[in-house]
Structures are given as C-alpha cells and as structure tokens.
Amino acid sequence: MTRVAFVLLFGWVTVAIGQAQSPPEAAAQLAARISSQLPRHPTVSLELQNLSTMTPGDLSSFGRALEEQLRKSGLPMTATQPEVRAHITISENARGLLLVAEILTGDNRTVIMQPWIARPTSETKPRIRILRRPVWDQPEPILDLLLLNSESELLVLSPTAVLSFHLADGKWIATGVAALSLARPPARDPRGRIESTPGGFRVYLPDTTCTGTLQPMLTVACGPGNEAWPVNPRDPSFVVRWVTDRNVLESPNFQSAFYDGANGWFSTAGHRIVDRASNTLAVPEAWGTDFANIESSCVSNPTVLASGSGDNSDHDQAQAFEIASGRATPVSESMALPGPITALWPAETAGQATLVVRNSKTGNYEASRLGLACAE
C-alpha cells in the first residue's frame, strides 16, 4: 500500500514539478491561443462545460480568468448574438486535465486543445472539517432526535416510543416516556422523523403519524396515516412520503430524497443520484444510501453529508460533499465511524445534522450532531 502511494506520489510530483499551472495561468495560455485564431476580434460568447474532476471553485476561478484574458486580448464578450461562440470544455484524460476549446464561426469549427497539469495542492486540500458532537446513546434504535429550548430539552425517537430528557449538569436526565401506538409492526430497518411544532412535536413513522405535547407532561397520540415527512425542516414544501414495505421515502418515482435548497436530489433503485428531472449527479462510488443536506459558510454551494457504501457492518464513514454542476465533490476528509450509520437527517437547527450510528462493538445506538467547520 505504502509502496503504491509512493509510486503515485512520485509520478504526481514528477508531473507537478514540470508543468503545473494554476487556473489563471492555464486560462491565460488558452485565451492567447483563442485570440490568435480570431485576429479580426469578433464578438465572442463564452460557454463553459466541466467534464473533469475539477472542483467547482477552481472551475469558476478558471472561467473568470479566461473571460478576463479574452477581454484583455481585445475580444468583445457578449452573450447575445455573438459572431463567434467559444465553447470551452474542461475535460480530463488519463494524463490529466485537458482544455478543449471549440471556436464556432457559423458552420466552421476550430478545435484547440491544451493539456493542463493542475497544481495538486488546491485540489486535494480539504476545505471543511466535520465536527461530531455525541448527544445520546442507548441500546434501542434511535430514529431521530430533536433538541429544543436552546438545546436544553431532548426528544429521542425510537421505533416504539418517544423519550424526553432535560439537560442538567451536562447530562441528559430522562423526564418521560410515551409509547407509540403503531398502525403497523415496526419496520425491520426502522426509520422515523421527529419535528418541532408550535404545540409540541410531531412524529413520522411508517404509516403512522403522531402528535405530542411536552407540557404539562409528555403525551403522544398516534393514528394511521401517510403524511409527508419533513426531510428538510428549512423547507416544508419539499414533499416526500414513506412507501409502505419499501423502506424508502418517495416523491413520485424517486426514493430517499434529500434536499439541496434549489433542487430535490433522490437516489434511485439503481443507486444513482438524480434530480427531479432525472439528471444524474455524479457521485463517488463510496456514497451510501443515507445523506443529509447541511449548511456551511465555508462552501458556497449546497453541501451534503453522506454515508459510506457497502454492506460492511463494522465500519462506516461520513463525508461532506459539495454539489455543483451535476457533480458531488468531496470537500472534507472522510470521518470514520465505529459502525454503520442508521440515521442521518438534517437537524432542526441550520448547519447541523443528526447522525445515529450503531456501534458494532457495543451494539449501542449512538446519536450525535454533526456540523461543519472551515478547515485552516
């Protein structure tokens, strides 16, 4: 393993020392070549397409630099009725990035290519750290949890009951248990959601919806129903429903939704991530089936926490990804976990997510809150 890494690194460094360019440098070189093809300085429109693993940040940096360089070389840039269309694709082959510029003048097409050895440091440095704050653990499965009253009250949802706690001296003290009367027997792989409501709270379980109060005491009343689950507390308009006996949340034709603010993303039965228009999100193969959107000030684009893939019951991981231009790019290191993730939900507080892991050693269900911090 070590030897392999060495070879890679060696190869990488060898290449990097020779020709590595920053995005502005690559853009300048490309702009010069493009403008040399257009001595008459016609009006030009610029379109950018990314077919590489370049991060959105580098991509936008490159795009801005290219446009600037083209302007500097005397080419008027316009979006409407240009004389020339410059279609720039950041492609990638086995040797690295490849810039492909198609200069379209009427029916004529000129193609310019430029290999780009990007400086490795900007691509690989993680920009985010995942912060994990344990909240509660218990032998029974934890489906979700809710922190209320400035995180002084805790509601824990398990498959058959809601438990309430009060924070005292840094410890959670149990204050109540309310059993849930379920319309159906608990699912083999239980999932559920609990949200705060003006009068108390609401619980969403497969085919059962419960409303509860905390005052004067914890009470819960349940009835059969299949209401929409609040996947993202920040946007109640995003409607998904539990599909009985399918273990998925569904909005027509899709399963396991998560929400990025502008578009709903779903994972399909074939384990692809698609949006509502069936556009595929390119994700690394290590993505699992649990993900939650999470807000972060370190990243301008929507960010998602995702579990790892595989059936491995010993370990799991969580990692943050930035969603941009149809790609999910990791922006944090992967956080190893002591067992498989059994629940991963956006929390009621922005910038947090609820994570539940079944510790493969102890068998306990450990619920924690995740947050993101900008990496130094």
Binding site for other proteins (CB under 8 A): 1, 3-5, 7-11, 14-15, 51, 53, 89, 91-98, 100, 102, 111-115, 123-124, 126, 243, 246, 248, 250, 253-255, 268-270, 284, 286, 308-312, 314-317, 319, 330, 333-334
Strands 108-118 vs 20-21: parallel, antiparallel or unpaired: parallel
Of 269, 268, 262, 294, the C-alpha closest to 280 is 268
Supply the minimum distance, in Å, between the C-beta of residue 273 and other proteins. 14
Residue closer to other proteins, measured from CB, 99 or 210: 99
The encoded tokens of residue 297 equal 């000030």
Residue closer to other proteins, measured from CB, 9 or 173: 9
Residue closer to other proteins, measured from CB, 114 or 325: 114
Supply the minimum distance, in Å, between the C-beta of residue 91 and other proteins. 4
Q: Dihedral sign, CA of 10, 12, 15, 18?
A: negative
Residue closer to other proteins, measured from CB, 223 or 310: 310
Supply the minimum distance, in Å, between the C-beta of residue 252 and other proteins. 9
Residue closer to other proteins, measured from CB, 17 or 81: 17
Supply the minimum distance, in Å, between the C-beta of residue 12 and other proteins. 8
Q: Are 112 and 33 within 8 A, CB to CB? A: yes
Supply the minimum distance, in Å, between the C-beta of residue 73 and other proteins. 20
Residue closer to other proteins, measured from CB, 64 or 109: 109
Supply the minimum distance, in Å, between the C-beta of residue 148 and other proteins. 35
Residue closer to other proteins, measured from CB, 163 or 273: 273
CA neighbours closer than 13 Å in the CB half-sphere of residue 167? 13
Of 209, 245, 212, the C-alpha closest to 225 is 209
Q: Are 71 and 63 within 8 A, CB to CB? A: no
Residue closer to other proteins, measured from CB, 260 or 316: 316
Supply the minimum distance, in Å, between the C-beta of residue 14 and other proteins. 7
Supply the minimum distance, in Å, between the C-beta of residue 44 and other proteins. 19
